[in-house]
Structure 1
Amino acid sequence: MEKKIGKYYWLWAFIFLATSLVAQEVQLTARSSRTSVGLDEPFRVTFSCNARGGDLIPPSFEHFIVVSGPYSSQQTQIINGSMSFSRELTYQLVAQEEGTFTIDPATLKIKGKEFQSNRLTIEVKTGVRKERSQSVPKSAGFEVDILSSKKAVYVGEPIVLLFSATLFEQVRDLNMLQAPNFENVLQQQLEFEQQSRRERIGGKIATVLDFDKRLIIPNKPGTLGGQELKITGTVQKPTGQRDFFNMPLMRWEQEVATAKIPAVKIKPLPTPQPSGFSGAVGELKLVREVSRTSVNGDESITLKLRIEGAGNFNTISVPELIPPQGFDLYDPKFNEKIRYSERGVRGFKEFEYLLVPQFKGQFILPQMEWTFFNTKKEAYETITLEETTLTVTGDALVEAEPNNDGTSPKIQRE
């Protein structure tokens, strides 16, 4: 009997405590680890609430970049028969610009009601701009430089950006907080094997790591670059303490470095542009392949019209085929193979046509011309494909006879 009473006692006690927890006023607060920070100095913003369930929606963090997070945690305590609950959502941020900014409230939606936290005011001061020099910074664990393969290019000509980090301490998890944001460009991250080398800077050996490459192809003239990017990394730092064996104790801290994309001049293509020019730029070829030039009446011809080489394949279009008379021309099959590398965009685009003869006789595959801008010669170049004679033989077809008005004859099959 006593066991049953004890069992019911704890059950009612739990129900009472849970009810009192639900009944308490919902509180949502925001706090920051620092209210005054440097431009590249990470800090934490934490939102805390005492309600179970519901959707906790963070603000947009305008003027800031989320370095890491959100990290969530929750805790339940029972002290002297009183139960309390709390949960937290933490973000690590870094400022995008100098000034004094307000972080808007977070919002908690629960049981059809909305609750908002307090606002936070953060002062962002001028940080020390880290320029590549022959002296080692006292506090920076790493620096980042962005190098451009060219200082001036034509529209459609490729540029490679190399991201290189100088590591003064043990650094891991290098990551760009935002990718380069260019308008009117093709941007492609290149696959490559990261390379490191040792250099002496200010009497100290540092590791230089090439950790990222981007291929950029501009579509409009102007100036590309000039913007700053933020790169985060986790740096190993001494704590100032030592262990039992008198070895220094270390900890991992997150740091943010700022690097500026060098300005590259994008030159417009020369004017006047040839009448047949459609925007292709690079070192290119126009190829027309015919599977055979002599067929029987019940056979077909495969014709491929292809642009190949290195160029702005993101905007290149294969020209339309001028078909020969005396053949049925079916809708083409499109083929392409594109590779991105430090040399630009290489590969081909082609249309594959099927030609079926209507008559026997000899027919002309007309001459074609195609114009592109050759970046190596810095001049327009026109490729001419000479006309090709196609011969159709056999008894399945009759010879073609032109109509009186000069139009193509209708199909005549025996």
Structure 2
Amino acid sequence: MILILCASFFNSWAQKAFIDFGKTNIAVNEAFTITIKVENAKVKSHDPFPTIAGFKKHALASVTSSNNKGNGQITTTDALIQNYYAEKEGTYVIKPFSIKVNGKVVESPGITVSVGPYDKNLGEPSKITLNDFLDLEKNKEYVDIKDEAFLGLSANKNEVFVGEGITVTLAFYVAATNQAILEFPPNLGNQLGDMLKKIRPAKSWEENFQIEEIAPVDVTINGKKYSQHKLYQATFYPLNNEPIIFPRVGLKMLKHQLPKGENDPMSLEARLKAKKVDKYYYTLPKRIEVKELPPHPLRDQVPVGVFSLYEIVPKKKIRTGASFEYGFRIWGEGNISAIRAPQINNNEHFSFYPPTINQSVQRAGQRVSGWKTFNFHSIPKEAGKYQLKNYFGWIYFNLNSQRYDTLKARTTIEVAGESLRNAEISAANVGSFYDDIDKESNQLSHNNFRKQVRYITNVLMVLMLAGMAFLIYWTYKDRQREKEEKKGKVSA
């Protein structure tokens, strides 16, 4: 298997840069090389190679190689090779130098190079110009080595219920016997984004496995060994019974073509001379049938999966009026995010309050599992022994039994203390008000507020007028009496 991974896609890998020297005992017609190497990344930028007194710079070459360590981890190395040719025989001392590679300074120690007599077996160094090189490349014949690889989209189920999870994997597979050199392109991330727009079903809940690193995994398909490179994985939960259709999507890879006559694709010479061409791979379309759940009043609301109940009960003996906590944890395999709290109503025995909620979701292998906990606070109002199964229950569709099932509480609590059922009425101290309720009429009476106000106003005005008339009459009588008294005094 030969596959070169795009280093820019794996920013989580450790990057290491260093400088290597070629042979230090060379013929005058043999190249001395200085190489910049970067592991698990591309050489994106670098300073010029050093100028060496007595040597002339020739062609600059690049090569990318990979190494499978056998544990599923592949290390890639990107290299730039600078060739130098000596002007004459002699011993040359190269002083220590540094080159900035991808923004970081890489130090190199000094070295001594011995240049010997002309070696007739090597021939003369290449004297071709850039135009000559381009003409040679144009007329060069390349061989396309047949590759053994494919892009596949697989699902762990062909038929599901509404709300049942289906895990989909998009991966690139390379056979262990493959001899062609394939390379992920630099724009892999953009290509993947375009493919996912087509793959994701519109009316489904998605749990993305968040693949951040393409780590090859050995798999066997129809008896043949492959290396699987996962590009995307997610579990979808359909929200209705419409079929899920995954269309055909394509991935553009880079394939190395070798010059005619090169038979070893792993050799350095072959890699330096190889030409990269685009190679497209396509998935096959896939259809998933979605079935309706069996009839049930809550069919459109119940979760689907395999679940169990775990109860969290800090204390089982409590007193009336004292708050206590009860944790109702649902755990198992299914759409954890869509689980709703059990509906609990207040009653004459307990006052229940809305729960606090926390959850944990795990995505591994081909399944999504986890738990969701509803922590209820309640205040008991009556003493007695209570089985919480009479208050806490959660309905779901069990995929194992293909039936609706209910998770019921198993805990029993004991409550002691005085009854608080009528505590609010007693605190109000309304006397005999409730005693006379049965004696009163239950007929509705119509109260015309405005008419009553007008009536009262008229009565008040009549009273005011009568008062004013009385005052006037009293004042008039008082004045008459004063006049008569004055007349009597004059006559006397």
Counterpart position of 2:169: 162
Equivalent in 331, 339, 345 of residue 308 of structure 1: 331
Match of 2:487 in 1: none
**Which AA in structure 1 matches 2:406?**
T
2-structure distance, mates of 1:305, 1:385:
8
**What is the Cα deviation at residue 241 of structure 1?**
8.8
CA apart distance, 1:332: 2.4
CA drift at 1:257? 1.5
- RMSD over equivalenced CA pairs, Å: 3.9
1:183 aligns with 2:202: yes
Q: Distance in 1 between matches of 2:426 and 2:311?
A: 26
Report if aligned partners of 1:187, 1:217 keep a CA contact under 8 Å in 2.
yes
Cα distance in 2 for residues equivalent to 1:299 and 1:172: 68
The Cα of 1:143 is off from its aligned counterpart by 2.2
Relative to structure 1, the CA distance from residue 187 to residue 361 in structure 2 (aligned partners, 3 Å threshold; closer, same or farther) is closer
1:282 to 282, 302, 305: 305
Distance in 2 (alpha carbons) for counterparts of 1:304 and 1:199: 45
Secondary structure at the aligned position of 2:163 is classed as coil
**Alignment match, 1:119:** none
Cα distance in 2 between the residues matched to 1:269 and 1:367: 26
Decide which of 177, 180, 183 is 1:172's aligned counterpart.
Answer: 183
Secondary structure of 2:401's counterpart equals coil
Q: Does 1:291 align with 2:322?
A: no
C-alpha contact 1:325 1:363 (8 A) present in aligned 2 = no
Asked if 1:383 is matched to 2:429, the reply is no
> 1:309 deviation in Å?
1.1
Give 3-state SS (helix, strand or coil) of 1:278's partner: coil
Identify, as 1 or 2, the structure richer in helix: 2
Deviation at 1:207, TM superposition (A): 5.0
Per the alignment, residue 398 of structure 2 pairs with: 374
Amino acid at match of 1:362: G
Shift of 1:263: 1.6
**TM-score in terms of structure 2 length:** 0.45
- State the partner residue of 1:222: 242
Higher-Rg structure is: 2
Give the Cα–Cα distance (whole angstroms) in 1 for the partners of residues 355 and 426 of structure 2.
21
- The residue type equivalent to 1:171 in the other structure is L
CA contact 2:312–2:326 (8 Å) conserved in 1:
yes
Q: Measured at CA, do residues 389 and 277 of structure 1 come closer, stay the same or move farther in structure 2, by a change above 3 Å?
A: farther
Aligned equivalents of 1:251, 1:198: Cα separation in 2: 30
Distance 1:187 1:261, change over 3 A: farther
Question: Which residue matches 1:194?
Answer: 215
Is the 1:305–1:321 contact (alpha carbons within 8 Å) kept by the matching residues of 2?
A: no
Q: Which runs of 5+ in 2 are unaligned?
A: 1-143, 263-267, 428-492
C-alpha contact (below 8 Å) 2:218/2:228 kept by paired residues: yes
**How far apart are residue 228 of structure 1 and its match?**
0.9
Once the two structures are TM-superposed, the CA of residue 158 in structure 1 deviates from its matched residue by 1.8
Residues 97-138 of structure 1 deviation map (CA, whole Å, 9 limit, x = unaligned): xxxxxxxxxxxxxxxxxxxxxxxxxxxxxxxxxxxxxxxx97
The match for 1:319 among 318, 342, 351 is: 342
1:232 is matched with which residue? 252
Which of 398, 416, 424 does residue 392 from structure 1 map onto?
416
Distance change (3 Å), C-alpha of 1:267 and 1:220: same
Task: Find the aligned partners of 1:198 and 1:149 in 2 and give their Cα distance.
Answer: 15
CA 1:298/1:320 → structure 2, altered by over 3 Å: closer, same or farther?
A: closer
What is the match of residue 262 of structure 1? 286
Shift in alpha-carbon separation, 1:296–1:140, aligned structure 2, 3 A: same
Kindly state the Cα deviation for residue 140 of structure 1 after the two structures are TM-superposed: 6.1
Task: Give per-residue Cα distances to partners, 1:160-214, cap 9 Å, x unaligned.
Answer: 223343434222327434211312112333257733449899xxx9854242333
Q: 2:296 aligns with which of 258, 273, 280?
A: 273
Normalising by structure 1, we get a TM-score of 0.53
User: Unaligned regions of 5+ residues in structure 1, if any?
Assistant: 1-136, 394-398
Distance 1:200 1:252 in 2: 29
CA distance in structure 1 between the aligned counterparts of 2:371 and 2:206, rounded to whole angstroms: 19
Relative to structure 1, is the Cα distance of residues 253 and 225 closer, same or farther in structure 2, using a 3 angstrom cutoff? same
The offset of 1:337, in angstroms, is 0.9
Which residue is 1:124 aligned to? none
Show the counterpart of 1:145.
Answer: 152
Say whether the 8 Å CA contact 1:155–1:219 is kept in structure 2: yes
Contact in 1 for aligned 2:320/2:420 (Cα 8 Å): no
Rate the CA distance shift 1:200–1:223 in 2: closer, same or farther, 3 A: closer
SS at match of 1:178: helix
Query: 1:57-72 alignment to 2 at 5 Å?
Result: none
Alignment of 1:362 with 2:381, yes or no, is: no
Tell me if structure 1 keeps the 8 A contact 2:351–2:379. yes
Contact 1:322–1:368, Cα closer than 8 Å, also in 2: no
One-letter amino acid matched to 1:147:
S
Taking a change above 3 Å as real, the CA distance of residues 247 and 154 of structure 1, as seen in their structure-2 partners, is: closer
> In 2, are the aligned partners of 1:330 and 1:353 still within 8 Å (CA)?
yes
What is the percentage of aligned positions where both structures have the same residue? 16
CA deviations 1:224-277 (Å, max 9, x no partner) are: 2241112232322225598xx96461133343321124222111112x214587
Kept in 2, the 8 Å contact 1:226–1:262? The answer is: yes
Instruction: Give, in angstroms, the shift of residue 373 of structure 1.
Output: 0.9
Deviation by residue 1:349-401 (Cα, 9 ceiling, x = unmatched): 222122345x57336454343321111221222333368443134xxxxx116
Select 2:374's aligned residue among 348, 351, 369: 351
Equivalent residues, number: 262
Give the C-alpha shift of residue 284 in structure 1.
Answer: 1.3
Is the deviation greater in 369-378 or in 173-182? 173-182
In structure 2, distance between residues paired with 1:411 and 1:152: 62
Alignment partners' CA distance in 2, 1:219 and 1:320 = 22
Is residue 259–residue 274 contact of structure 2 (8 Å, CA) maintained in 1? yes
